Structure 1
Amino acid sequence: MQEAFLHYLWKYKKLDLSRLTTTAGETIVVKSVGQHNLLAGPDFFNAQIEIAGQHWAGNVEIHTASSDWFLHNHEQDKAYQNVILHVVWEHDTEVFRKNNTPIPTLQLKNYVNPQLLSNYKQLFNNKSTWINCESQFHTVSEFIVNNWLERLYLERLERKSKIINELLVQSKNNWEAVLFTLLAKGFGQKINNEAFVSLAQSVNFSIIRKLHSNPIQLEALLFGQAGLLEDNHQDAYYIQLQKEYKFLKQKFQLNNQGVLPMQFFKLRPPNFPTIRLSQLAMLYNKHQNLFSKIIDLNDIEAFYNLFKAETTPYWKTHYTFGKTSKQVSKTISKPMVYLLLINTVIPIKFAYAKQHAASNNEELLKLIQQLPPEKNSIITAYNNLQPIAKSALQSQALIQLKTEYCDKHKCLFCAIGNNLISQ
């Protein structure tokens, strides 16, 4: 029996409230279960309870067994002296305050519906499956699932905004610099995202601003910091970039010791770091105040036009230095723009609004719902249970569901798990 399940029973009043009594036979009337405390101290603060006709206001502590009170040394802790009710699954000993007055005890197992207990055990006995509710997931109504996924998506945005706030502190509240770091991460995608972030953070964004009108210098800066100009290619453009980077390195006192190596292995040529870095350079060549433009836009087509940048001419016939290929215009694709919207644009718009005590949730939900769902193993697996990922909102929410709830067996905190237990 998990203590978290007992918290769930008390918090959501999944009890036969009409006939509650203490282990001493005194009538209990629950006026308020109190505020759930997830930090140190009693489990529920400021509960309102009548015991034997007397009104009590104070805290509630919950344990699997009464003896856990002594196991956790609560009898020595001042924080537990205001506990008005000890809620347990199994009452195996009396518990006293420091002044030797007994703490009333409620034994939960006498008041829980057997079917609810059976549902709980069934859910938590399936840990060998992909997710605990794998065999039952399809039975939950679409209304409950969709409402929960919307909440999960906003929860995911909250998590991402914390990362953005950390970057803001590092950049002394420079939103343009933070955007550059996040865009670099997006252009690095799954394989090179950490390397691209380390590259972005190795350059003061003021340098990007100074070089924005010179595409060759911008590209030389990024390629040089990425460690991609350290060979001896007999290639005119490569040599030109080397010379430009040598000049920039001396002028701005640059170093790239903390930049992680760029990976080419297992990547399709259009995703090579050479192509992505050139596209990133050209994006900043095209737009000087990219952050303010992103904040002002809300239309998908407008975002596509904003991010519609291609490489410098050299990369139309190259994927790597010194080796020519068939001429292809390497413009940032729509799927790439969608990923930038999902992982960079929408989170930064959310964080910006939040910092300014504004809410743009409806606007962002409308935007994310217009984007196609992502394709990965998590989304495929959920869709096999019940086809629900119809937009990027659902796919992002499902990632949040899997990583923060299913993988951690937090079914009691999940609307889907709650529904299955309560059926």
Structure 2
Amino acid sequence: MKEDFLHYLWKFKKFDTLNLKTSQKEELLIIKTGDYLELAGPDFFNAQITIGNQKWAGNVEIHLKSSDWYLHHHERDSAYENVILHVVWEHDTEIFRKDNTEISVLILKDYVSPETISNYYALTSPKSWIFCEKQISQIDDFIFKNWQERLFFERLERKSKPVYDLLEETNNDWEAVLFCLLAKNFGLNTNGTSFLQMAKAIPFSIIRKESFTLLNLESLLFGCAGLLDSEKEDVYFKDLKFAYFYIIHKYQLEKNYVEPVQFFKHRPDNFPTIRLSQLANLYQKEQNLFSKIITLKSVKDIYEVFDVSVSLYWQNHFQFDKESPKKAKKLSKSFVDLLIINTIIPIQFAYAKVMGEEISEDLITLLDEVSPEKNSIIEKFNSFGLKSKNAFETQSLLQLKNEYCNKNHCLKCAIGTELLKGD
């Protein structure tokens, strides 16, 4: 038995509320359970109850045992002086306020049905991966789909936080924010931090001015990423290095520290050299990228915008000084799908929120067109009978696993609370 189960029971009145009595046999009527704010202090604020003929307004504290009041030193904390009811599973001692008046107690286990308790233990029995893995596929479709939507937007809120942070850093320059986010996601997990540091090191006004010349764009990105720090015989390397030094002198740019980019364990198509060249080509091709991105409503249109390759040199190179068979090295559909999920959707969501627009349905419709992600979490859910058809569903499942299942927050989850009801 855990305290969060008692919170759930009280919040949703999942017990017999018709014949309640306190531990001292006084009749108890719940008018309002209070607000569950999950803040410091009592568990539920602004509750209203009647005990006997006396109406009370104040706070409710919940514990597994009455003695937990003293175990948690609430008797020393003035925040608990306004507690009007102590809700417990087991009553093992009386509790008093500082003025020696006794706090009324409700012993909850006397009013909870055996079925509810049984369902709780079934839900929280030892798990191999998630608690409800044997029952999750049986959840009513209507409940599950509504919960998926909530999960998706919870995840989107988290993904959009870096957008707001970057807005502050860039003086509300949405183009600069997009550039930073794209750079980070072009770097994937391994080089994402390095690419983001690189993007922040280049004022976006310079990207705007130099975007008409691909060599200058590549020199900026490669130079700021530290890929031009060595000496090589390669002619193109020397051209980039010359252009880079010319540009940093022209704009009086200072060299910022950027974590070294990694080639190790990457497939060649994901080498930082290739991704930076693709990013440069994108900004050389699209002069007003943000204005276009923010209005895109279909995956087909997004694929057209991101239909970019590498510069001529990188078509037959993966690294400087090492020639390879010629290959166009276009952005793949699966890579653009990642950009849609991790960059385009979050920035569209954040921009709409700032502008006071409602585009929730548009975002869901867009992700409905994107192929489902493939990873170990999604594969595991598939094995439980939850076959994802698109990225909207996989994003929801990732939020479910990371923020609810992993944290054992079953009683905050629509699936867990539905299973708790039983048949």
Provide the TM-score with structure 1 as the length reference. Answer: 0.96
Aligned pairs for 1:118-129 (under 5 A) are: 118-127=118-127, 129=128
The residue aligned with 1:152 is 151
Given residue 42 of structure 1, which amino acid in structure 2 is its aligned partner?
A: P
Deviation at residue 292 of structure 1 after TM alignment: 1.7
1:200 aligns with 2:199: yes
Structure 2: distance between partners of 1:234 and 1:258: 25
Query: What secondary structure does 2:187 align onto?
Result: helix
The residue aligned with 2:383 is 384
Structure 1 residues 228-268: Cα deviation after superposition (integer angstroms, max 9, x where no partner): 12333322211111111121233334444421111112222
Structure 1 residues 163-193: Cα deviation after superposition (integer angstroms, max 9, x where no partner): 2211211222221111111101111112221
The residue aligned with 1:398 is 397
8 Å CA contact 2:137, 2:386 repeated in 1:
no
8 Å CA contact 1:86, 1:104 repeated in 2:
yes
Given residue 46 of structure 1, which amino acid in structure 2 is its aligned partner?
A: N
8 Å CA contact 1:199, 1:256 repeated in 2:
no
Deviation at residue 28 of structure 1 after TM alignment: 1.5
1:102 aligns with 2:102: yes
Deviation at residue 200 of structure 1 after TM alignment: 1.1
The residue aligned with 2:68 is 68
Task: State percent identity of aligned pairs.
Answer: 53
Structure 1: distance between partners of 2:22 and 2:251: 74
Structure 1 unmatched ranges of 5 or more: none
The residue aligned with 1:41 is 41
8 Å CA contact 1:88, 1:107 repeated in 2:
yes
Structure 1 residues 284-308: Cα deviation after superposition (integer angstroms, max 9, x where no partner): 1112221121112212211111122
Deviation at residue 98 of structure 1 after TM alignment: 2.3
Given residue 285 of structure 1, which amino acid in structure 2 is its aligned partner?
A: Q
User: RMSD in angstroms over aligned alpha carbons?
Assistant: 1.6
Aligned pairs for 1:154-173 (under 5 A) are: 154-173=153-172
Query: What secondary structure does 1:249 align onto?
Result: helix
Structure 2 unmatched ranges of 5 or more: none
Structure 1: distance between partners of 2:72 and 2:212: 65
Given residue 316 of structure 1, which amino acid in structure 2 is its aligned partner?
A: Q
Structure 1 residues 90-148: Cα deviation after superposition (integer angstroms, max 9, x where no partner): 11111122222221110111111222212222332314x11122233233233322221
The residue aligned with 1:181 is 180
Query: What secondary structure does 2:193 align onto?
Result: helix
Structure 2: distance between partners of 1:296 and 1:122: 48
Deviation at residue 213 of structure 1 after TM alignment: 0.8
Structure 1: distance between partners of 2:376 and 2:347: 26
8 Å CA contact 1:225, 1:255 repeated in 2:
no
The residue aligned with 1:422 is 421
Query: What secondary structure does 1:62 align onto?
Result: strand
8 Å CA contact 1:225, 1:259 repeated in 2:
yes
8 Å CA contact 1:279, 1:332 repeated in 2:
yes
The residue aligned with 2:129 is 130
Query: What secondary structure does 2:222 align onto?
Result: helix
8 Å CA contact 1:226, 1:256 repeated in 2:
no
The residue aligned with 1:18 is 18
- 37 and 253 in structure 1: CA distance in 2 versus 1, 3 angstrom threshold: same
Structure 2: distance between partners of 1:231 and 1:140: 59
Query: What secondary structure does 1:326 align onto?
Result: coil
Structure 1: distance between partners of 2:260 and 2:124: 43
Deviation at residue 274 of structure 1 after TM alignment: 0.9
The residue aligned with 2:215 is 216
Given residue 414 of structure 2, which amino acid in structure 1 is its aligned partner?
A: A
Given residue 418 of structure 2, which amino acid in structure 1 is its aligned partner?
A: N
The residue aligned with 2:238 is 239
Query: What secondary structure does 1:17 align onto?
Result: coil
The residue aligned with 1:83 is 83
8 Å CA contact 2:307, 2:331 repeated in 1:
yes
Structure 2: distance between partners of 1:142 and 1:302: 32
Structure 2: distance between partners of 1:74 and 1:237: 71
Given residue 78 of structure 1, which amino acid in structure 2 is its aligned partner?
A: S
Structure 2: distance between partners of 1:421 and 1:69: 28
8 Å CA contact 2:211, 2:283 repeated in 1:
yes
Query: What secondary structure does 1:296 align onto?
Result: coil
- 388 and 55 in structure 1: CA distance in 2 versus 1, 3 angstrom threshold: farther
Moved more, 355-364 or 370-379: 355-364
Deviation at residue 6 of structure 1 after TM alignment: 0.8
Given residue 60 of structure 1, which amino acid in structure 2 is its aligned partner?
A: V
Aligned pairs for 1:228-307 (under 5 A) are: 228-307=227-306
Moved more, 316-325 or 34-43: 316-325
The residue aligned with 1:344 is 343
Moved more, 51-60 or 259-268: 51-60
Structure 2: distance between partners of 1:296 and 1:73: 56
Given residue 143 of structure 2, which amino acid in structure 1 is its aligned partner?
A: I
The residue aligned with 2:307 is 308
Structure 2: distance between partners of 1:122 and 1:400: 23
Deviation at residue 275 of structure 1 after TM alignment: 0.9
Given residue 94 of structure 1, which amino acid in structure 2 is its aligned partner?
A: E
8 Å CA contact 1:36, 1:43 repeated in 2:
yes
Given residue 331 of structure 1, which amino acid in structure 2 is its aligned partner?
A: K
Given residue 343 of structure 2, which amino acid in structure 1 is its aligned partner?
A: T
Given residue 100 of structure 2, which amino acid in structure 1 is its aligned partner?
A: N
